[in-house]
């Protein structure tokens, strides 16, 4: 449609021009026909000397058309210029197409018609301005400049419309770049044409100097356009390569296709990637409005192999619009872009493989490989997450299912058939589970069903005001579940029925975690086995820890938040000979608002098996160091001893937390003694050794608590460098009457001397015990004989009393029992 309109307008302009008087401007050196021939030749020469630059996926030619118009208007009849332009331009573009820049007939007609319209408009403007003035008149000079500018405006306008309709680029982008490229040529063309006209009229011999000047000017124009094109290409290259990195291969491919289209102004871009198992995957993108097949696209095709460190990734193929840059430069640009794209694709593929591997490892860590159900780890992690999302008072249930006489299936039919039974049971459980419930295989023939939401629906026969019992609902469902699972199945051509026993527990979501629910359900399952019942329920009378333990966990959280319920009871350790205090042990007490004061044995085990351990440990350390800082300011340079749980030493951040607390209270590391048990010190966990080593490097003192009660006392002191051994109070209590207990104390004292560690006797309550310890060589002790545990606000006074009190006079017995 556009070509037809332009052609019709051009033909009309030619006809109208021919109908005008055919006289050349006055003062011209040539006849009308001679001027027409020269004008036609000048138009053809100007088009042959064209320069091109890329705009999107199209190209714009900048030629000497303005110079040809100026000379043609001065030498030929103005009305004949459209005809001269059409003939000259058509002839020139036919020659250009024949020489290798293949153009369709429609393109040739469009180009010639556009230039003809420009020439016709420019001739009209120049004629109106000149008004019949002779060639040498100043008015004619103004007319020639105005005509040249009109020619530029009309031809650029038509080119902008054409390229915009072809969607090669936006109209604004086309216009800006075209003006930037053409304006310098307009000035040069105009000056050269005007000077050439002056020379033609005055000194024709000077025309011999024009070819070198025109050659230099053409080279200057070409350099300007090439520099602008290179700047554009590499700016687009930078934008495109910056957008390439990604973690998904498909995104990188998409960005690579778009980037290549933008950088090279391509008609089509193809990316072929090698499949991991062989073969190729092909991706492509065509320019907007491009409908022809790839084999029929114009312009050169450049294909480059993409490789990373010599390993091929695939191939990049770019169909250029037209060879505006030298082919070598295009090839270098495509090669560079292909290398960048290959690296991005390799990184994305590596990231995807790593993500798949991580997902597989994560999946294998929480999935049972045989049945596909969640395993024990998945049940604990996923179940705890589900419980945390619930209201604390929401009832949750747990069922533990154990298959009866499953070993007989393995022994009779084989382990493969046993696996088939497990898979069938797993499928039935998964089908019977409700939304949000977690089915897991947690043992060989043991399954679990976690019910995060226990629906309590009243029985129709019950009183309307009666609150339904959630345990009753779960037990009823457990019986239904056992009945469904006992339905016959066919395994290895044998029809069999596998029965199971189920342990059930119901609790509120805020009163425990999945591990505790599983433990209680296990107790219920054990009850079902012992009583040969299908369903057993949790009975706290059978549990060492009652339901109060779960409630206490929530109350402990509130106690830590309150800040005044968990308090310290501080007990000094003294020198047996002088009664001078040598240190202070920080013991914890819980002033429970309802239960009264609780000893550590009543709540520490609950803390150790909950998420409260880390904040509880920080709380006790912070309070202990604050108390130590207080008695240090009072003049007592004594360390504070704090008991550390086994699980605390599995936390690699513990040394850093202790360091921060020491800095906060301005205490030296040596003023803190961490008491650990023998079983912790000899733990097989590598992280325990690392944490203890870090604490030793900080110069924090380490003490072995309850020494002598563990099963590996000797290995403790060889693996861990300790500063103190604390003899358990059980040996101190029995040492007077038990030679064996006395031997243990004596051995601890001797070992402490050899290791360079002080020995502290715990639980000293009588003068007789004190005397016996001195006789055995033990120099430090603590217990009610010296001072009972005191609150933090009274410890300084107690320390001062111990320091001021004269030591009791102790006279050791002679060997013959004489005094």
Q: Which residues are catalytic?
A: 762
Rounded Cα gap, residues 305 and 338, in angstroms: 8
- For residues 694 and 721, the answer to whether their CB atoms sit within 8 Å is no
Judge contact between 95 and 48, C-beta under 8 A. yes
Q: Which 8-state DSSP code applies to residue 465?
A: T
Q: Torsion angle of alpha carbons 422, 424, 429, 431, nearest 10°?
A: 160
Residues 6+ apart with CB under 8 A from 506: 395, 396, 397, 398, 454, 470, 471, 474, 538
What are all long-range contacts of 219-227, with beta carbons under 8 Å and residues at least 24 apart? 220/188, 221/51, 221/62, 221/184, 221/185, 221/188, 222/51, 224/181, 224/184, 225/51, 225/52, 225/53, 225/62, 225/181, 226/325
DSSP symbol at 610: S
Task: Give the total residue count for the chain.
Answer: 819
Interatomic CA distance for residues 140 and 131, integer angstroms: 8
Q: How far apart are CA 253 and CA 257, in angstroms?
A: 6
CA distance 720 to 672: 17
Question: Sign of the CA dihedral 486, 491, 496, 500?
Answer: negative
Nearest to 146 by CA among 173, 105, 186, 96: 186
Q: How many CA atoms lie within 13 A of 504 on its CB side?
A: 24
Shortest CA distance to 716 belongs to which of 760, 679, 673? Answer: 679
Residues 6+ apart with CB under 8 A from 386: 436, 438, 450, 452
How far is 28 from 588, CA to CA, in rounded Å?
Answer: 117
Q: Tell which residue, 151, 153, 127, has the closest CA to residue 139.
A: 127
Residue 785, SS3 per DSSP: coil
3-class DSSP assignment, residue 491: strand
Tell me how far apart the alpha carbons of residues 686 and 700 are, in angstroms, rounded to a whole number.
20
613-633 and 547-562 helices cross at what angle (nearest 10)? 40
Listing DSSP states for 288-338 in one string gives TT--S-GGG--S-EEEEEEEETTEEEEEEEEE-SS--S-HHHHHHHHHHHH
- Which of 439, 452, 477, 434 lies closest to 394, judged by CA? 452
* Secondary structure of 174-200 in HEC code, one letter for each residue: HHHHHHHHHHHHHHHHHHHHHHHHHHH
CB 95 within 8 A of CB 46: no
Could you tell me which of 192, 181, 196, 182 has the C-alpha nearest to residue 217? 192
Which structure tokens are listed for 159? Answer: 């080119």
CA angle (302, 304, 307) in 5-degree steps: 165
Sequential DSSP letters for 70-118:
HHHHHHS-GGGHHHHHHHHHHHHHHHHHHTT----HHHHHHHHHHHHHH
| Cβ burial, residue 475 (10 Å; 0-12/13-18/19+) | buried
Element (H, E) at 526: helix 514-530
203: left (phi over 0), alpha (psi -120 to 50) or beta: beta
Determine the Cα–Cα distance for residues 345 and 306; give it in Å rounded to an integer.
Answer: 10
């Amino acid at each position: 449609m556009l070509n037809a309109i332009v052609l019709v307008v051009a033909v009309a302009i030619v006809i109208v021009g021919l109908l005008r008087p055919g006289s050349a401007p006055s003062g011209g050196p040539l006849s009308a026909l001679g001027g027409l021939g020269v004008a036609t030749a000048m138009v053809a020469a100007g088009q042959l000397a064209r320069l091109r630059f890329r705009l999107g996926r199209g190209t714009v030619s900048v030629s000497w058309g303005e110079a040809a118009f100026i000379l043609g208007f001065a030498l030929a009849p103005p009305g004949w210029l459209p005809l001269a332009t059409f003939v000259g331009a058509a002839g020139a573009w036919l020659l250009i197409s024949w020489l290798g820049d293949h153009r369709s007939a429609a393109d040739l007609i469009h180009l010639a018609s556009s230039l003809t319209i420009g020439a016709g408009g420019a001739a009209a403007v120049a004629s109106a301005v000149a008004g019949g003035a002779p060639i040498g008149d100043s008015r004619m000079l103004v007319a020639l400049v105005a005509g040249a500018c009109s020619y530029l405006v009309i031809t650029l306008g038509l080119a902008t419309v054409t390229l915009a309709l072809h969607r090669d680029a936006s109209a604004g982008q086309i216009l800006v770049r075209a003006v930037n490229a053409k304006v310098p040529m307009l000035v040069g063309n105009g000056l050269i044409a005007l000077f050439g006209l002056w020379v033609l009229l005055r000194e024709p011999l000077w025309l011999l100097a024009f070819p070198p000047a025109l050659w230099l000017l053409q080279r200057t124009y070409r350099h300007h356009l090439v520099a602008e094109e290179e700047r554009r290409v590499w700016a687009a290259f930078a934008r495109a390569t910056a957008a390439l990195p990604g973690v998904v291969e498909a995104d990188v491919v998409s960005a690579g296709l778009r980037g290549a289209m933008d950088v090279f102004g391509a008609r089509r871009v193809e990316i072929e990637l090698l499949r991991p198992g062989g073969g190729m995957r092909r991706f492509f993108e065509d320019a907007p409005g491009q409908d022809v097949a790839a084999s029929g696209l114009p312009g050169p095709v450049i294909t480059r192999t993409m490789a990373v460190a010599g390993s091929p990734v695939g191939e990049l193929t770019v169909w250029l619009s037209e060879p505006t840059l030298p082919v070598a430069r295009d090839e270098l640009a495509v090669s560079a872009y292909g290398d960048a794209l290959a690296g991005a694709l390799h990184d994305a593929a590596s990231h995807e493989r790593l993500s798949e591997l991580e997902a597989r490892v994560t999946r294998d860590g929480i999935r049972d490989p045989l049945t596909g159900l969640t395993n024990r780890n998945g049940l604990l992690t996923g179940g705890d997450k589900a419980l945390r999302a619930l209201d604390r008072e929401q009832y949750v249930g747990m069922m533990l299912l154990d298959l009866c006489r499953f070993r007989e299936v393995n022994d009779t039919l084989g382990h493969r058939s046993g696996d088939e039974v497990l898979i069938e049971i797993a499928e039935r459980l998964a089908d019977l589970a409700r939304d949000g419930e977690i089915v897991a295989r947690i043992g060989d023939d043991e399954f679990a069903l976690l019910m995060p939401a226990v629906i309590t629906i009243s029985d129709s026969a019950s009183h309307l005001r009666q609150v339904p019992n959630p345990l009753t609902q779960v037990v009823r469902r457990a019986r239904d579940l056992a009945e469904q699972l006992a339905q016959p199945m066919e395994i290895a051509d044998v029809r069999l029925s596998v029965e199971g026993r189920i342990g059930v527990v119901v609790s509120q979501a805020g009163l425990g975690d999945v591990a505790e629910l599983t433990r209680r359900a296990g107790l219920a399952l054990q009850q079902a086995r012992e009583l040969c019942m299908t369903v057993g329920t949790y009975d706290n009378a059978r549990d060492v820890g009652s339901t109060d333990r779960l409630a206490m966990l929530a109350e402990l959280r509130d106690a830590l938040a309150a800040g005044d319920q968990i308090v310290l009871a501080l007990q000094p350790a003294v020198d047996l000979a002088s009664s001078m205090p040598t240190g202070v042990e920080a013991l914890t007490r819980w002033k429970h608002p309802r239960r009264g004061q609780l000893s550590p044995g009543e709540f520490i085990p609950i803390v150790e098996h909950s998420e409260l351990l880390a904040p509880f440990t920080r709380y006790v350390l912070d309070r202990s160091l604050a108390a130590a800082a207080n008695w240090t300011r009072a003049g007592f340079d004594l360390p504070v001893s704090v008991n550390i749980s086994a699980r605390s030493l599995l936390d690699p951040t513990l040394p850093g937390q202790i360091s921060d607390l020491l800095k906060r209270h301005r205490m030296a590391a040596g003023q803190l003694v961490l008491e650990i048990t023998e079983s912790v010190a000899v733990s097989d966990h590598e992280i325990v050794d690392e944490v203890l080593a870090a604490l030793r490097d900080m110069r924090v003192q380490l003490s072995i608590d309850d020494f002598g009660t563990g099963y590996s006392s000797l290995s403790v002191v060889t693996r861990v460098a300790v500063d103190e051994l604390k003899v358990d109070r059980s040996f101190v209590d029995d040492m007077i009457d038990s030679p064996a207990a006395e031997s243990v104390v004596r051995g601890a004292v001797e070992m402490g001397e050899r290791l360079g560690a002080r020995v502290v006797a715990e639980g000293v309550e009588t003068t007789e015990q004190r005397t016996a310890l001195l006789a055995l060589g033990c120099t430090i002790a603590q217990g009610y004989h010296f001072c009972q545990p005191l609150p933090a606000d009274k410890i300084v006074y107690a320390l001062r009393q111990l320091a001021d009190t004269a030591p009791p006079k102790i006279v050791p017995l002679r060997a013959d029992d004489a005094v």
